[in-house]
Structure 1
Amino acid sequence: MADHRMEFSERLAAAMQKAGYEPRPVVLMTQFNSRFHGRSIAFQTASRWLNGLAIPKPDKLIALADWLHMDRGLLGFGEKELRRGSDKQIKERAAAYDADEQLLHAIQTLSGAQRKLVRELVTLLAAAGSKRSG
């Protein structure tokens, strides 16, 4: 995963330079926040993106690619998107990603016994789902 983050940071820095921006955290933070309609990013977040320590969530990756006039798949993953979804589909996927992340966080706050119950429930549901589709 660390290699993927570093590769992303290199693509981001190159895209910023190509668009005429110096690839520095303060520049990234300022330019991104002036265009993004969601929650702003902090200097530390911009620094983590540019230093290969983190990758933005899907909604922020979309905004970065749009700002830098770059293919989303190319910026995020190093390859062009084969099937680009509509903006509505992309926003729905980003919302689903956020909901999943919130669920995982909630599960992490449970006691060990509660997490075991959740794990067993998910295992049963997955088994029932695979029987229906098989």
Structure 2
Amino acid sequence: MSDERFEFSRRLAQAMMAAGYEPRPAVLFRLFNARYSGRSVSFQSASRWLGGRSIPEQDKLRVLAELFGVEPQGLRYGDTRRMAEARAEWHAVGTRERAVIDAFLALPARKRELVGELVKALAQTRTDR
């Protein structure tokens, strides 16, 4: 196992734990495929990422970083500081709102765009009153 792959797997496991997930291949497999809009990855791929045997391609790395709230370059190369500045206000969001946001984030990109357009339209309507 190369040091680079081992270090990546360590950072991935740390990011998963910091986001409240157990760093296991089955968990990673399920979370990743629920969020990724491309072809699903296999359980073996998730296992190789966590086991230090491979590093995902850039498009998959971006999804992993978003999923666990870290910067892609930090996940890939080090310095996995959480994106806390952008999410500091999330503590004021209730459980119901978080569930809605999580469901939104699990949608494919095209459906997220549609929901975004709907929200913009509703917000515009609200300011027109």
Give the alignment's TM-score, normalised by structure 2: 0.60
* Cα distance in structure 2, aligned partners of 1:53 and 1:37: 24
* Cα distance in structure 1, aligned partners of 2:28 and 2:79: 22
State the Cα RMSD in Å. Answer: 1.3
CA shift, 1:79, in A, is 4.3
Secondary structure of the residue aligned to 1:65 is helix
2:59 corresponding residue in structure 1: 59
Q: Is 1:12 matched up with 2:12?
A: yes
Matched length:
80
Q: Is 1:24 matched up with 2:18?
A: no
1:75 corresponding residue in structure 2: 75
Structural mapping, 1:1-134, within 5 Å:
2-79=2-79
Moved over 6 A (4+): none
What amino acid sits opposite 2:41 in the alignment?
I
* Cα distance in structure 2, aligned partners of 1:41 and 1:68: 17
What amino acid sits opposite 2:75 in the alignment?
L
CA shift, 1:23, in A, is 0.3
Task: Render the CA deviation track for 1:29-68: whole Å, top value 9, x for unaligned.
Answer: 0000000001111110000000000000000000000111
* Cα distance in structure 2, aligned partners of 1:66 and 1:19: 11
Higher RCO structure (Cα 8 Å, ≥6 apart):
2
Secondary structure of the residue aligned to 1:14 is helix
2:93 corresponding residue in structure 1: none
Secondary structure of the residue aligned to 2:37 is coil
* Cα distance in structure 2, aligned partners of 1:73 and 1:12: 12
Structure 2 residue runs without a partner (length 5+): 81-129
* Cα distance in structure 2, aligned partners of 1:79 and 1:73: 8
